[in-house]
Chain A
């Protein structure tokens, strides 16, 4: 068991090694990404403030991520509630199709959407990226919301209906507050996925690049790399904060419905 623990620690180092390099080189006063380090600087972070194309990409990505998160979570609520509460013929197949993007290579989703959009003569733009991102985010929303809805005691809702509430008001007054932590955590996860997603955005974006597409364009220029490291540091930090908040809400949801914590997303 000792050796297993050692292995686990080495594995964690392997998992965190790339990310640990980000801040090291983001604050390094040298354009070449290599050891030994040159000195401490904030210049790369300052430079981030002076690039209008970057700011436009960030704004674009934020709009896309918020829209995708909202739509995906709404669709996720429908699917998770239908999947956990009701039995109907063909349920497995229907939910299987909805969950399919989880295992489908993203490039397949991207090119198939691209073909259809171009054939229909629709212009590419932020909205086409949202269409693709909702497809990718919904399975994750469903996975999170499933556990929120599953832990729900049906008798609470039935009691509300017996006491004279309508189906809708019992959902609004009883179910919704109980699954709210799950909803918030689903929104945050979907937002993070959409913000980071590259392939679909790469194929479906029009003239306004999203943040990952912008970064991809910059990776070709070696002199831009320290700035990208600074940007990456901020992105990773933002992801970790969002994730920690999502995890907090997920745990609160688990505690609220009184089940044992099985741990983790996915």
Chain B
């Protein structure tokens, strides 16, 4: 009975909504903003429901607690207290941050000369071929690439067996063996195109006559680079830094495969909390902390570079 009543009540409601829509559309249809909203609605709603809402949920979740299978929904800071007081979590968070920063520095510093080379030395007709060459490795399976680095850097890996075979070293190189260095090398490889492309785009935008003017006015090549090219390329460098730094903190595969016990990162702990220890709220708290850390560092970085970003956007 109740079901049929609510059912009959709901139908006129829907009809009413449809009527309003039909009447409203022709008028709204003319306005540019309405057309824009209408078009952007499907992807926006999708992102709202499956990205924004879950992200909000995970923040809420981090204030709950779980004891095996029972979930306690009273809001508490217990997870955060534990995460910040337990040295294991603290160490993992700090190490993730340090590794991410090292990866970012290594990737961006090695990428800049490549972007510079493609933008300034390669003839225009061959530029897109170079960009294509650089992006190809990035599109091959990420899992396979990380695994191949394990094959290269490992104890019985290609690098060590080759070097021992040639008699150059007696025992495997220890500084790249299942530790944080191996993680940095592997991630620097994985994120290379992410760093090269934004810098390349920024360099391409530079008006070449500015460089000529600088040389004509007596600046040396090096000073022209430092005072004209580099400041103008900074927006690209900043974008490259952020696009490498933010995702690396959450990398799971690389630390797990090449990191060894001392190269594990926060994502490995988040996964353990969620899938093995059945302590999703603790995992959520760690995820929130990692994101907060990344956001804070990114904002400081943006603030420090604000003078290069003026007039952009």
Question: Which A residues have a C-beta under 8 Å from some C-beta of B?
Answer: 1, 4-5, 7-8, 11-12, 14-19, 21-22, 25, 32-36, 74-76, 78-79, 81-83, 85-89, 91, 94-95, 97-98, 100-109, 111-116, 118-119, 131-132, 134-135, 138, 142, 192, 196-199, 203, 212, 215-216, 219, 228, 232, 235-236, 239-240, 243, 247, 251, 261-266
Nearest to B162 among chain A residues (CB) is A35
Which segment, of B209-217, B241-249, B299-307, faces chain A? B241-249
- B117: contacting residue among A8, A115, A192, A215, CB under 8 A: A8
The answer to whether A243 and B136 have CB atoms under 8 Å apart is yes
- Which residues on the B side are within 8 Å of A131 (C-beta)? 50
- Which residues on the A side are within 8 Å of B51 (C-beta)? 97, 100-101, 109, 112, 135
The answer to whether A97 and B141 have CB atoms under 8 Å apart is no
The answer to whether B61 and A228 have CB atoms under 8 Å apart is no
Nearest to A260 among chain B residues (CB) is B124
Which segment, of B2-10, B127-135, B174-182, faces chain A? B127-135
Residues of B in contact, count (CB < 8 Å): 90
What is the minimal beta-carbon distance from B25 to any residue of chain A, in angstroms? 12
The answer to whether B133 and A198 have CB atoms under 8 Å apart is no
The answer to whether A203 and B274 have CB atoms under 8 Å apart is yes
- Which residues on the A side are within 8 Å of B151 (C-beta)? 18, 21, 25, 33
Instruction: Check B46 for interface membership: any CB of A closer than 8 A.
Output: yes
What is the minimal beta-carbon distance from A247 to any residue of chain B, in angstroms? 6
B270-313 interface code vs A (CB 8 A; 1 in, 0 out): 11001100001001100100110010000000000000000000
- A108: contacting residue among B46, B161, B204, B287, CB under 8 A: B287
A87-B252 contact given A14-B189, A79-B40, A111-B270, CB 8 Å threshold: no
Q: How far is the CA of A215 from the CA of B194 in the complex (A)?
A: 25
A266-B135 contact given A100-B47, A119-B57, CB 8 Å threshold: yes
Q: How far is the CA of A106 from the CA of B39 in the complex (A)?
A: 27
Q: How far is the CA of A264 from the CA of B134 in the complex (A)?
A: 9
- Which residues on the A side are within 8 Å of B267 (C-beta)? 105, 107
The answer to whether B121 and A135 have CB atoms under 8 Å apart is no
The answer to whether B242 and A103 have CB atoms under 8 Å apart is yes
The answer to whether A18 and B250 have CB atoms under 8 Å apart is no
Instruction: Check B54 for interface membership: any CB of A closer than 8 A.
Output: yes
Which segment, of B16-24, B29-37, B87-95, faces chain A? B29-37
The answer to whether B142 and A198 have CB atoms under 8 Å apart is yes
- Which residues on the B side are within 8 Å of A115 (C-beta)? 54, 57-58, 61, 280, 284
Nearest to A251 among chain B residues (CB) is B128
The answer to whether A138 and B58 have CB atoms under 8 Å apart is no
Nearest to A197 among chain B residues (CB) is B142
Interface residues of B in 101-131 (CB under 8 A from A): 110, 113-114, 116-118, 121, 127-128, 130-131
B260-275 interface code vs A (CB 8 A; 1 in, 0 out): 0000000100110011
A98-B47 contact given A105-B267, A219-B257, A240-B136, CB 8 Å threshold: yes
Q: How far is the CA of A113 from the CA of B55 in the complex (A)?
A: 8
The answer to whether A1 and B121 have CB atoms under 8 Å apart is yes
Instruction: Check B74 for interface membership: any CB of A closer than 8 A.
Output: no
A-B contact pairs, 22 of them (CB 8 A): A1-B121, A8-B113, A8-B114, A11-B110, A18-B151, A19-B137, A33-B158, A35-B161, A82-B37, A97-B48, A107-B270, A111-B58, A114-B274, A115-B57, A116-B53, A134-B50, A199-B252, A215-B143, A216-B253, A232-B147, A262-B201, A263-B130
Q: How far is the CA of A100 from the CA of B51 in the complex (A)?
A: 9
Counting chain A CB atoms within 10 Å of each CB, which of B44, B156, B290 scores highest?
B44
